[in-house]
Chains A and B, each alone.
Chain A
Amino acid sequence: MRVGILYSRIRKDEKLLLGELRERGHDVEKIDVRKHGFGLDDTDAAVADCDLVVDRCLATSRSKYATEFCRHYDVPVVNSPDTAAVCADKVRTSLALDDAGLPTPDTTVAFTTESALEAVESYGYPCVLKPVVGSWGRLMAKLDSRNAAEAVLEHKATLGHYEHKVFYIQDFVEKPGRDIRVLATDGEPVAAMTRSGDHWLTNAAKGAQTDSFEVDDGVAELVETASNAVGGGLLGVDLMETGDGYTVHEVNHTVEFKALNDASDVDVPAAVVDWLEDRAAAEVEVTP
């Protein structure tokens, strides 16, 4: 198959993916989205002849729009722009997870520092303030006191981009020093790992220790529901253990898997390419 890879940076994840695709003899078209324009009728990016385009953009903004244009050109793209739009926005993700009946951390959105502070006080301390767009644990604030809350809110309101004036406040979940990342393809778990550390943030990008995790039926059901809730695709679903179950706190649509590939026994890039081949074959069936 001919596969287009939308990118602006080749991380180890993309190298693993490119290696697996080429090893299987697939024709790979690397498309650096920074070098192209996307018009209403056409683009100079070589997407038209691709059986499937895979969005691996590092920048969320590029991911959202580039996938929209692919769909506009009737080029099959994974993940879909709908999935990207939901996963890229923590507010939309929380709403989608809640709509699906999934356990997810209690969340309030407020639009002024005053109403945000009221929400913070209603949760009590600690609680968490997150940017609505962001990744790798950046700009996350664990608020331990009213003084801290007032300071962080004022900084966000004064110094931040307008998106930082959408205050996304979340109940703090007392997790057991770790969270769980499950990589799934259309809701089916491929591999999973725990991410552990002394810091309250346990992102792999923050240096958390990773270990393989066995997905049981309960987690698999949550992952499938979460995947469906955001539109499906190749996803990284993050869960925290709450003592009597799990809560789903994030779904990532341009999921990184290098750490998972090292932590688990699963050949993750091979499993991802298996899924891409299935998706490309399905596209051929519906558009003969």
Chain B
Amino acid sequence: MSTCPECGSDVALHDDLEVGEIVDCDTCGTELEVVDTAPAVLDRAPELSEDWGE
């Protein structure tokens, strides 16, 4: 469990969390980036950039 930096709500997290992974806040819908896992810390994810993709 961690806290959404946007709305302050609790965010439930799965066990195999990876730094760099994106999770959604179920309360406000903000995309959040996992910046640490021990303990879990979330930050607002970067906005989509034009050169992102595969």
Q: Which residues of A contact B (CB under 8 A)?
A: 7-10, 14-15, 18-19, 30, 32, 58-61, 131, 133-136, 138-139, 161, 205, 236, 252-256
Which one of A10, A30, A133, A252 contacts B51 once the chains associate, using CB atoms below 8 Å? A133
Which residue of B is nearest A19, CB measured?
B16
Q: Which of B16, B21, B49, B52 has the most CB of A within 10 A?
A: B52
Find out whether the CB atom of B51 lies under 8 angstroms from the CB atom of A134.
Answer: yes
Contact B22 A60, beta carbon cutoff 8 Å: no
Give residues 4-52 of B contacting A (CB, 8 Å): 16, 18-22, 33-34, 45, 49-52
Measured between alpha carbons, how far is A252 from B53 in the docked complex, in Å?
9
**B19, A10: Cβ atoms closer than 8 Å:** yes
B contacts with A, residue count (CB < 8 A): 15
Q: Given A8-B20, A32-B20, are A134 and B54 neighbors across the interface (CB < 8 Å)?
A: no
**B20/A9 in contact, CB under 8 A:** yes
Give Cα A14–Cα B53 distance, bound, in whole angstroms.
Answer: 13
Q: Are B18 and A59 in contact (CB under 8 A)?
A: no
Could you tell me the distance between the alpha carbons of A256 and B34 in the complex, rounded to whole angstroms?
Answer: 20
CA distance A58 to B51 in the complex (A): 8
Once the chains bind, are A135 and B20 in contact (CB under 8 Å)?
no
Measured CA separation A135–B53 after assembly (Å) = 5
- A-side contacts of B18, CB under 8 Å: 10, 14-15, 18, 30
B44 to chain A minimum Cβ distance, whole angstroms, is 13
Contact partners of A59 in chain B: CB under 8 A: 49, 51-52
Of B16, B51, B53, B54, most buried by chain A (CB within 10 Å of CB) is B54
**Set of chain B residues within 8 Å of A138, measured between Cβ atoms:** 50, 53
**Could you tell me if A252 and B54 are in contact, using CB atoms closer than 8 angstroms?**
yes
Residues of A within 8 A of B49 (CB): 59
Complex Cα gap A18–B52 (Å): 20
- Select which of A30, A32, A161 is within 8 A of B50 by beta carbon: A161
Cβ distance A180 to chain B, nearest Cβ, rounded Å: 16
Closest chain-A Cβ to B40's Cβ sits at a distance in Å of: 14
- Asked whether A255 lies within 8 Å of B22 as measured between CB atoms, the reply is no
What B residues does A131 contact at CB under 8 A? 50
A58 near B16: Cβ-Cβ < 8 Å: no
Q: Tell which of B20, B50, B52, B54 touches A10, judged by Cβ atoms closer than 8 Å.
A: B20
Cβ B20 vs Cβ A61 within 8 A:
no
Closest to B49 in A: A59
On whether the beta carbons of B50 and A256 are closer than 8 Å, the reply is: no
The smallest beta-carbon distance between A261 and chain B, in angstroms, is: 14
Closest Cβ of chain B to A159, distance in Å, is 12
List 5 interface pairs A-B (beta carbons < 8 Å), by A numbering. Answer: A14-B18, A135-B54, A139-B50, A252-B53, A254-B54
Residues in B with CB closer than 8 Å to A19 are 16
A205→B54 CA distance, assembly (Å):
10
A151 to B: closest C-beta gap in Å: 20
In the complex, the answer to whether B53 meets A30 with C-beta atoms within 8 Å is no
Quick one: closest A residue to B34, CB to CB? A10
- Give the shortest distance, in Å, between B5 (CB) and chain A (any CB): 17
Seed contacts A10-B19, A59-B49, A134-B50; 11 additional CB < 8 Å A-B pairs: A7-B20, A8-B20, A10-B20, A10-B21, A14-B20, A30-B20, A60-B53, A131-B50, A134-B51, A136-B52, A253-B54
